[in-house]
Amino acid sequence: MRRLLLSALAALAAAGPALAAPAPNADQILQRAFDNYRAKTSQTTVAMTIHRPTWERRMGVTSWTRGETDALVRFTAPPADAGNATLKLGNDTWVYNPKLNQVIKLPASMMSQSWMGSDFSYNDLSKSEDLLTSYTHRLIATEQAGGHTVWTIESTPKPGAPIVWGKVTIKIRDDSVILEETFFDQDMRPARRMTADKVGVIAGRPYPVSLTMQPLDKPGQWTRVETQAGRFDAGAPAYLFTLSNLQNPRS
């Protein structure tokens, strides 16, 4: 879950103190943020709140990640949702539903749809590396806030890249925590924004423990992801990231 969501949203944790390197360039800031954030493996426990004008829903999630592209997300609460799971291997995504006891591979046309009713799409999960690989980056502002240097990077899609956004702007703190990410549509109007509401410490890392994604054209609608616990680089058994484990969890 952490890797899946947060790398899409690019929230990073730096291992150790931030380097005091003067004026690094945009690619370096982003790459270092991603590198620092990418533990070889991770396991996190997360609470996801989906807020709508007429209702609010709170779900419990456990997630595992391995390397850059593999992830398993399993819902643990409420009872109605417990057992639902999403597995991502490379570019493929499968979902498991306990009521049907069935694994379904996601069709490409569903990838832009809401994931589990949230304000995140399946693309946010599965195309998490896009920001690094399919964009060019430019440092557009440097400011001081709360004792930290905060860089603002503007990322524009490379020509021909299959990206739906016009551009993305990202605010990164000097300890490699991403504070804010704004997605602009093709007309360069801000379409949605993810904000780090709270930066804390998880397993010794500076970490955005609360992140809120908000579609800007739908007032009163947002999804918040709060990380409660995490383990990094503790290794992950290979069986975790398999279709059989998706359907019949061993643990």
- When asked if residue 119 is in the footprint of other proteins (CB under 8 A), the reply is no
DSSP helix/strand/coil, 12: coil
Determine the residue type at 112.
S
Helix (H) or strand (E) holding 28: helix 26-37
Give the integer Cα–Cα distance in Å for 23 and 13: 20
- When asked if residue 55 is in the footprint of other proteins (CB under 8 A), the reply is yes
Would you say 80 or 229 has its CB closer to other proteins? Answer: 80
DSSP letters spanning 116-165: TTSS-BHHHHHTTTHHHHSEEEEEEEEEEETTEEEEEEEEEEPTT-----
Q: For other proteins, which residue of 113, 136, 244, 248 counts as binding (CB under 8 A)?
A: 113
Would you say 7 or 84 has its CB closer to other proteins? Answer: 84
Residues in contact with other proteins, counted by CB under 8 A, come to a total of 25
Taking Cα atoms as reference points, which of 206, 132, 219, 117 lies closest to residue 168?
132
- When asked if residue 164 is in the footprint of other proteins (CB under 8 A), the reply is no
Least Å distance, CB 104 to other proteins, is 4
Would you say 198 or 218 has its CB closer to other proteins? Answer: 218
Would you say 5 or 199 has its CB closer to other proteins? Answer: 5
Tell which positions 89-108 bind other proteins, by CB under 8 A.
95, 97, 99-100, 102, 104-107
Least Å distance, CB 43 to other proteins, is 23
Tokens for 69? 């592209």
Note whether 87 and 74 are within 8 A (CB): no
DSSP helix/strand/coil, 104: strand
Catalog residues that contact other proteins under the rule CB under 8 A: 50, 52, 54-55, 57, 80-81, 84, 95, 97, 99-100, 102, 104-107, 109-110, 113-114, 116-118, 218
